[in-house]
Amino acid sequence: MRTTTPDETSGLQVASLGVAFNGLEVLRDLTLRVERGEFVCIVGPTGCGKTTLLRVIAGLLRPSAGEVRIDGAPLNGPGHDRGLVFQEYALFPWLTVRQNIAFGLEARGAMTKAACARAVERFTEMVGLDGFEDYRPSQLSGGMKQRVAIARALANEPAIVLMDEPFGSLDSQSRCAMQAELLQVWGQTGQTIVFVTHSVEEAVYLGNRVIVLSARPGRILTEIPIALPHPRVRTSPDFNALRAEIMALF
């Protein structure tokens, strides 16, 4: 009787992924494994296909080559198990902040009204938007919209959280605060996080592995494990060494 190693098929498996649009190759032969509960950061030059990769994993895009499996099962379109924080926010303009954040919970209908309200309140507070629950997206600044997008995705408690430059519109103070919040949530829930950023510093601060993509057509240049304990110190020599190592690849 052959015993399969418990973690051989668990988690996210991307195998030889290829994506091309109208003859333009965006991703080529990309292979990646993310264990359950990992916090993985993806960095790379502009246009290297980071967003495309997230969309494929989210099930919004069919690859031209290769495949993606979750716990051994192939993908079948999008689902609430893979939440996506869009770079463009993608908030529903006819809904308030509160209603946007509650959207996934209502779609699944898994919670009572009271539990739903509590969850919404928790995540609204987490992203620092309490007091703005009844505002419409058109009344918010870019940074606030981004926070709603984050809260909306996290409130739905997906097994895998895909985040596409989620802190890009925030000022540095808010950014640091949000990074700390995210790490705290992750610590509590054990969700798998795939985090795309163009800030190497942010990648080193957050992830337990940093994956570096090449320029288009994107494929994995290298993967660098970050073994530093949390909370990390941005000024420490270890931190900066890792940073330098990664930046050298660009």
Partner 1 sequence: MKLLVPALSEQPPSAARLEQGRWYDSRQLLLAASALSFFVLWQLAVLIVNSPYLPGPASVGRALVEALTQRDFIGFTMGQHVFSSLTRILYGYLLAVVIAVPLGLLAGWFKPLETLVSPWIEMTRPIPPLAWIPFAIVFFGSPFDAIFIVFLASYFPIFLNTTTGVKSVDSLLVDAARTLGARGFFLFWRVIVPASFGHISAGLRLGLGYAWMSIVAAEILGVKGGGLGIYLWTMHEVGRFDAVFAGMVIIGVLGLLLTRGVNFWRVAASAG
Residues in touch with partner 1 (CB under 8 A): 55, 58-60, 77-80, 82-84, 86, 88, 90-92, 94-95, 103-104, 106-108, 127-128, 131, 138-141, 143-144, 152-153, 156, 171, 173-174, 177-178, 180-181
3-state secondary structure of 21: strand
The answer to whether 158 touches 110, Cβ cutoff 8 Å, is: no
3-state secondary structure of 2: coil
CB of 82 to partner 1, least distance (A): 6
CB atoms within 10 A of CB 62: 9
Q: Return the H-helix or E-strand segment holding 73.
A: strand 73-74
Query: Looking at beta carbons only, is 193 or 246 nearer to partner 1?
Result: 193
CB of 92 to partner 1, least distance (A): 6
Query: Looking at beta carbons only, is 37 or 78 nearer to partner 1?
Result: 78
Query: Looking at beta carbons only, is 148 or 204 nearer to partner 1?
Result: 148
Query: Looking at beta carbons only, is 90 or 233 nearer to partner 1?
Result: 90
CB of 199 to partner 1, least distance (A): 19
Alpha carbons 28 and 14: distance in angstroms, whole number: 12
Q: Which residue has the tokens 């993908």?
A: 75
The answer to whether 89 touches 146, Cβ cutoff 8 Å, is: yes
